[in-house]
A and B are shown apart, each in its own frame.
Chain A
């Protein structure tokens, strides 16, 4: 598809920048910008002192012009700090390159250099690029020759963009590419907002972390005896499992499966495993110094849009507050006079599967508000008047079955998950197939499409080439994950364009903030827009959402992290979190 006509031109734009005061987590400081006009090749270079004087971009950004960049959220970050209006039409060649090549094994990755090499275009060397980036990240001041070198480097990127655009333009799905460009603007807005952090408590954690780790091990491991110093000993864990008669999944090698997801699964069926799982997770994931918090106390990091094969964002686990252990999310706290809301779609993946497959029974189950219990009723496993209280155990099993189907879990894994014989797991999976036959036909067709057609796609064009990917589980799961990502992108666009302050996208949720006196209205508007986004992606089928509202001085808390949070807070003499959202009295400091 050829590029649409833009009467005021197509321009390639690149900024060089560094974080303010060279501190990661701070907004960017633009160092220079180079703009190149397509076809004429006319190029203009601007140093930072010139940029600061401009009230708007020095080129057309109206709906008759196109702005092209690579990983455009960074350029949009610079637009935001300069106070410039964002371009109406933005094409991000990174997003398009990822979309066109997703699923393929790329020899050189998906950086600008990788894309250029993929199309056989000339590039500067990776070493040269690193050296120039390092020079920019020093934060200056730069002498005249360094300024020239930085501008030359920046110019080399827009020349590369020009060449890459010419190579890619006929492969681009233009209408949907413009939507991805809008999402990169939304990403920039969310990165600019960041997530408010209780920096006082964070500093205390950093200061005492070494002692906290030792004390946590002492407190929790006394019931297990599996640690030696700060090392978790697998042989001692095996002995513990034998002592308590807990069957544990093993790897093909025969060794115990020690990955965190296994501990998490086992903790559900064997609650005595939960504390040691939390401890392991807390100790292994915690790199507090990596968490990027700006001088204004806000967690900002690259959200890494379009990085996952499903098209979901993939921010760094150590830099993003939603990356490390769940208990650490207790550090999220609205600033004075403000509130936060964590709004997530209810059973998003089940709803997407129901809508896109056209399975009416599944849609009815979703719309019941409790799809898991509805599934049990539809399968004839519980009476029509069953509820969460009367049939708790059955509901849990059918919930596990739905999740097992979504993640391609086999009968043995499901049996472990529900702590039931394999025969029961087999029966549950068969009931799913019998109850939701249309869904399974559609899912089978997705696999056929991937195998025979060579690709799968989502509602707004995110796609995966499947020549190198014939994993049945991944292929079946792709439509739910990729359309979930599309839904999040649409919601992020509509929310940020409506002026709602979005702090972060989190898988199937959005964290928003507002002044306390507007919070209720903003939450309602957010839920309305998220409902709209679901209808847009699912051709009229609506997903509901849940909102967890946090008002200053309360803090955000994930239910799964309360116990560990309180243990740690107890150790550093901070108030504990209580379920009624009030802060308890602070205990005396123990460290």
Chain B
């Protein structure tokens, strides 16, 4: 078949010529579009939300939290102010976690009390957060047992893709406008009964 011979002889040189004309599909490369981190929720994951915990110890932030459940607001309080509100403050560790949709959030895990123990809810939450360093899991409150049921994903799910943010940056976004640094803060004034 003479046509085939022609094809075999001509194609390699034609291919290299054509290759030289190819344009890259690097859309957006020169535009520098970058997704900004604008929201970092703080709280426990939802019932159906599988999550993973960042295994790097540097991605844990110790903090004093003031929770206003009525307003669904959580504040970070610096130690000097925390002393004035001691019974309302909860010392926690903020763990960096991520869900399957790549949403990053912080789970506050209360630290053990003075006797070195936690209540069962906090203890099971701490265990779940630790387990989530290796496995995708979700948690569900079990009122009868007084702790969280933990469910691990059965499938072989891909590892999470962590954003390139430090824990300080995450905390800054999560608590933007909600850091109490002195006793003049309206929230403190209100809790102390001064206004």
Q: Which of A378, A381, A456, A498 meets B10, CB within 8 Å?
A: A498
Once the chains are docked, how many angstroms separate the CA of A483 from the CA of B24?
A: 11
Q: How far is the CB of A519 from chain B (nearest CB, A)?
A: 10
One of A43-51, A413-421, A431-439, A576-584 at the interface: A431-439
Q: Which residue of A lies closest to B33 (CB)?
A: A448
- Known contacts: A433-B101, A529-B11. The answer to whether A445 contacts B2 by CB under 8 A is no
One of B78-86, B141-149, B155-163, B185-193 at the interface: B155-163
Q: Which of B6, B18, B153, B158 meets A490, CB within 8 Å?
A: B18
Interface residues of B in 1-24 (CB under 8 A from A): 1-4, 6-8, 10-11, 14-15, 18-19, 21-24
Contact, CB under 8 Å: A445 / B6: no
Q: Which residue of A lies closest to B31 (CB)?
A: A452
Binary B-proximity of A438-454 (CB < 8 A = 1, otherwise 0): 00001011101100110
Question: Is A460 an interface position by the 8 A CB rule?
Answer: yes
Q: Which of A179, A444, A449, A499 meets B18, CB within 8 Å?
A: A179
Contact, CB under 8 Å: B23 / A499: no
Number of A-B contacts (CB under 8 A): 105
| Prevailing SS type, chain B contact patch | loop
By the criterion of a CB under 8 Å from any partner CB, how many residues of chain A are at the interface? 48
Once the chains are docked, how many angstroms separate the CA of A280 from the CA of B33?
A: 48
Question: Is B195 an interface position by the 8 A CB rule?
Answer: no
Once the chains are docked, how many angstroms separate the CA of A167 from the CA of B74?
A: 65
Once the chains are docked, how many angstroms separate the CA of A224 from the CA of B91?
A: 71
Q: Which residue of B lies closest to A355 (CB)?
A: B25
Residues of A within 8 Å of B155, CB to CB, are 379-381
Once the chains are docked, how many angstroms separate the CA of A522 from the CA of B10?
A: 16
Once the chains are docked, how many angstroms separate the CA of A529 from the CA of B11?
A: 8
- Known contacts: A381-B155, A536-B22. The answer to whether A499 contacts B6 by CB under 8 A is yes
Residues of B within 8 Å of A458, CB to CB, are 23, 25
Q: How far is the CB of B12 from chain A (nearest CB, A)?
A: 9
Question: Is B177 an interface position by the 8 A CB rule?
Answer: no
- Known contacts: A449-B27, A522-B1, A532-B11. The answer to whether A430 contacts B100 by CB under 8 A is yes
Question: Is B28 an interface position by the 8 A CB rule?
Answer: yes
Q: How far is the CB of A428 from chain B (nearest CB, A)?
A: 13
Q: Which of A437, A444, A452, A525 meets B4, CB within 8 Å?
A: A525
Contact, CB under 8 Å: A446 / B27: yes
Interface residues of B in 155-179 (CB under 8 A from A): 155-158, 161
Q: Which residue of B lies closest to A526 (CB)?
A: B7
Once the chains are docked, how many angstroms separate the CA of A479 from the CA of B26?
A: 11
Residues of A within 8 Å of B15, CB to CB, are 532, 535-536
Once the chains are docked, how many angstroms separate the CA of A537 from the CA of B14?
A: 13
Binary B-proximity of A119-137 (CB < 8 A = 1, otherwise 0): 0000000000000000000
- Known contacts: A175-B21, A499-B3, A539-B22. The answer to whether A434 contacts B158 by CB under 8 A is yes
- Known contacts: A498-B3, A498-B7. The answer to whether A459 contacts B23 by CB under 8 A is yes
Q: How far is the CB of A486 from chain B (nearest CB, A)?
A: 9
Question: Is A260 an interface position by the 8 A CB rule?
Answer: no
Once the chains are docked, how many angstroms separate the CA of A460 from the CA of B18?
A: 9
Residues of A within 8 Å of B27, CB to CB, are 442, 445-446, 448-449, 456, 479
Q: How far is the CB of B7 from chain A (nearest CB, A)?
A: 3
Q: Which of B10, B11, B21, B158 meets A435, CB within 8 Å?
A: B158
Residues of B within 8 Å of A214, CB to CB, are none
Contact, CB under 8 Å: A380 / B153: yes
Question: Is A91 an interface position by the 8 A CB rule?
Answer: no
Contact, CB under 8 Å: A457 / B4: no
Contact, CB under 8 Å: A430 / B101: yes
Q: Which of A433, A522, A535 meets B3, CB within 8 Å?
A: A522
* Pairs A–B under 8 Å by Cβ, sample size 20: A179-B21, A379-B155, A384-B156, A433-B101, A434-B100, A442-B27, A445-B27, A445-B28, A445-B29, A449-B27, A456-B27, A457-B23, A479-B25, A494-B11, A499-B3, A522-B3, A525-B4, A536-B22, A537-B22, A539-B24
Q: A442-B27, A459-B23, A494-B11 are in contact. List 13 more A-B contacts (CB 8 A).
A: A175-B21, A361-B158, A378-B158, A434-B157, A448-B31, A449-B28, A459-B25, A460-B23, A461-B21, A522-B4, A525-B7, A537-B22, A539-B24
List 10 tightest A-B contacts by C-beta distance, closest first.
A380-B155, A445-B28, A498-B7, A499-B3, A449-B27, A356-B25, A446-B27, A448-B33, A445-B27, A448-B28
